[in-house]
Amino acid sequence: MTTSYDTIRAVLWEDDKLKLLDQRLLPQQEVYNEYQDSDAVAQAITDMVVRGAPAIGITAAYGVVLAVRKRLAEGGSDIVERLERDFTHLADARPTAVNLAWALERMGKVLFDLPEGADVERAMIAEARAIHEEDIAANQKMGELGAALIEEEGYGILTHCNTGSLATGGYGTALGVIRSAFAHNKISRVYADETRPWLQGARLTAWELVKDAIPVTLLADGAAAHLMKQGRVKWVVVGSDRIAANGDVANKIGTYSAAVAAKYHGVKFMVVAPTSTVDMSLASGDLIPIEQRGADEVLGLGGQRIAAEGAEAWNPAFDVTPAELVDAIVTEKGVVLNPTTEKMAAMMEK
C-alpha cells in the first residue's frame, strides 16, 4: 500500500549524468537540467534548483561522482587537492541541512578507502546510488511509523514547506507519513502552509499532492493558528534540515510558529527525518547555523519588487523548534516520543 501515491522523482542518475528537476520553475514547467560538473551541482544547490535536506545530500553524492570523473580525466599529481576543493565547494553550497555534510563524508570515506586498482568511478556511482536508495527506503519505513502514530481518523493534517518526493530521494519524509496515512484512510485532507517566502507549499507540495490525487488545501502561513482553533487538524507533520542531540529541530522558517500554535491548541507536532538529518555533535538547536537568504525574496515576488524602496527585510531561511514543543521525532530507526538527549542517543545507537 505504501508505494502507491508515489510517482515523482526530482533527482535522477541516468546515462551517466545527473538530472535535477528544476524546482524554481514548478508547477508551471517540468524541466530536468543535466549536470556533468560538480561546481555546477554546487551552484544548483545554492540556487535551489534542488532543495530539501535529503535531496541535497543525494545530489551532493552524485556531485562527487562528477568531480571524481573530472579529476581522473584530468590526471596529474595534485588530484587529491583538487578533489578536496570539490568537496569543500559542495559542502559550502548551503549551511543548515546536515545531510549535505553527511553524504559528502560518506562518499569521501569510500573514495579514500578504495583499494589500489579499484574502478573508482564505478565505486562512487554505487555509493551515491546506495545513499539514494536507502533514503527512499527510509522514507517508506518512516511513512509507516509516522502514520501509526495518527489515531483519530477523518481529520486533516497540517504541513509546512515541501517534504515530499521533491525534497528527498523519493516518497518524502513528512509527506511520506502523509502519503502513508492517506493510503490507510487515516486522514481526509492535507492543509499546506504556502510557506513564504519561497512558496514551497503553494508551488511544490500542492503540485505533488495533486499529482497523487490527495486532497490539498493551501493557506497563508498566518492562518495556521486560526485553522487549529477550528479543530480541523489533530497533527502538524513537518520535516527537518538538522536535528540536534537533544531533539531541537531546525526546519523551514515558519515551522517554529506552527509548533508554538500547535502547543497552544493541543494539536500534536511530529517531525519526520532520516538519521542522516540528526547531528549528535550539536548539543542543542542554538548551535545549528541558520542560513540568511537575500532580502529580495521578501521585498519582491516573482522577480517584481513589491516593497517600497528603502524598506529592509529579515530573511532567515530556517528556525529552530525546541524539543519541548515536539511530540514525536520519526526516523527510519524508530520513533522518539517527547525527545531528550538520552532518548535520541538510544535511538541513534539502534
Is the CB of 9 or the CB of 85 nearer to a copy of itself? 9
First to last CA, the chain: 27
Residue 21 binds to a copy of itself (criterion: CB under 8 A) = no
**Stretch touching a copy of itself by CB under 8 A, among 2-10, 103-111, 261-269, 275-283:** 261-269
Residue 309 binds to a copy of itself (criterion: CB under 8 A) = yes
- For residues 202 to 221, the per-residue mask of contacts with a copy of itself, x marking binding by CB under 8 A and - elsewhere, is xx--xx-xxx---xxxxxxx
Residue that has been written with the C-alpha cell 571524481 in this structure? 68
- Choose, by CB under 8 A, the member of 261, 272, 278, 336 that binds a copy of itself: 261
What minimum distance in Å lies between the beta carbon of 176 and a copy of itself?
Answer: 19
What minimum distance in Å lies between the beta carbon of 154 and a copy of itself?
Answer: 18
Q: Is 241 a catalytic residue?
A: yes
Buried-state track 76-103, b at ≥16 Cβ within 10 A, e below 16: eeeeeeebeebbebbbebbbbbbbbbbb
- Which residue in 241, 279, 319, 327 is the catalytic one? 241
Give me the phi and psi of 74, to 5 degrees please: -70, -35
Q: Which long-range contacts (CB under 8 A, 24 or more apart) does 117-122 make?
A: 120/68, 120/72, 121/65, 121/68, 121/69, 121/72
Residue 95 binds to a copy of itself (criterion: CB under 8 A) = no
Is the CB of 67 or the CB of 261 nearer to a copy of itself? 261
Q: Can you tell me the distance from the alpha carbon of 159 to that of 179, in angstroms, rounded to the nearest whole number?
A: 12
Residue 271 binds to a copy of itself (criterion: CB under 8 A) = no
Residue 266 binds to a copy of itself (criterion: CB under 8 A) = no
* # of chain residues touching a copy of itself (CB under 8 A): 58
Q: Can you tell me the distance from the alpha carbon of 84 to that of 105, in angstroms, rounded to the nearest whole number?
A: 11
- For residues 220 to 249, the per-residue mask of contacts with a copy of itself, x marking binding by CB under 8 A and - elsewhere, is xxxxxxxx-x--------------------
Is the CB of 321 or the CB of 331 nearer to a copy of itself? 321
Residues between 151 and 210 that touch a copy of itself (CB under 8 A): 160, 191, 193-197, 199, 202-203, 206-207, 209-210
**Most distant CA atoms of the chain, gap in Å:** 66
Q: Can you tell me the distance from the alpha carbon of 122 to that of 72, in angstroms, rounded to the nearest whole number?
A: 12
* Amino acid, single-letter form, for residue 261: A
> Can you give 54-116 as a three-state secondary structure string?
HHHHHHHHHHHHHHHHHHHHHCCCCHHHHHHHHHHHHHCCCCCCHHHHHHHHHHHHHHHCCCC
Which residues make up the interface to a copy of itself (CB under 8 A)?
27, 160, 191, 193-197, 199, 202-203, 206-207, 209-211, 215-227, 229, 253-258, 260-261, 263-264, 298-299, 301-302, 304, 306-316, 319-320
Give the residue numbers annotated as catalytic, written as ranges: 241
